[in-house]
Amino acid sequence: MSRDHLLIVVDVGNTNTVCGVYEGDELVADFRLSTDVDRTADEYAALLLPLLAKVGIDPAKAIGVVICSVVPPLTPCFQQLSERYFHQQAFFVEPGVRTSLAIRYDNPTEVGADRIVNALAARELYGAPVIVVDFGTATTFDIVNADGDYAGGVISPGLVISAEALFSHASRLYQVDVRRPERLVGKNTGAAMQSGLYFGYVSLVDGILERLMKEIPNVQRVVATGGQAELIAGGSKFIQEVNQNLTLAGLKLIHELNR
């Protein structure tokens, strides 16, 4: 089925790049690609365009392309991708873009674009105050206060890079899948590592959230997003909702605020 008047939204992360397509208020498609700074615009297009074609999306029907990126070297690549294949000038979320979100940070330009986009989406979807936990290469905790302002956050190492550090620096330990084990006490090295990685990380997340909840009264929602969100939320006492499309929703809101 052919679709018209499409908004293309792209979240370029250190590990994955997520592309979404909105038709009006409906997210009609979303795709996850691995981020590679060595890929050209044509190579990204070679991956993305067949996926769009499978769901009946014509790139020529795009009315806008909105991008947030934490990988500066890829900015020219996605600008070229937007112009060459969607026939649109890409709109990047960067300092000076209207967000309706006051940034209460010592230096607002230091806040990653994805964190601002997530905070905006969470405020509009769930109210304020609200906490967003984004499980990416790093795990970030972002807070919107009772006034609806971005109040700051917490940054910790991500689950995957924490696991990779363990595998690479302990010579007698080997790589295991990061998943929730059946029991806490492992009966072999692999099971013991899985237990430590999973329950250790859940405890890290819940420990930070418990402290945040004491500092921020009447939190409306703790929402998780990102690659490991479902996994960790399943063991968390404080995460109330998982929304894997939170960043895409925020990019759509940015588009509406700036067009």
Catalytic residues: 114
Which residue's entry shows tokens 């997520």?
18
Structure tokens at 2: 């052919």
> Is 208 in a helix, a strand, or coil?
helix
Which residue's entry shows tokens 């590592």?
193
Strands (E), 45-180: 62-69, 91-92, 130-135, 138-144, 150-157
Backbone angles phi, psi at 42, to 5 degrees: -65, -35
How far is Cα 131 from Cα 134, in angstroms, rounded to an integer? 10
> Which neighbouring-strand residues pair with 93?
none
- Name the strand (E) or helix (H) holding 226: strand 221-226
Backbone angles phi, psi at 4, to 5 degrees: -125, 160
Structure tokens at 213: 């909840």
Single out the residue of 34, 31, 46 nearest to residue 74, CA to CA: 34
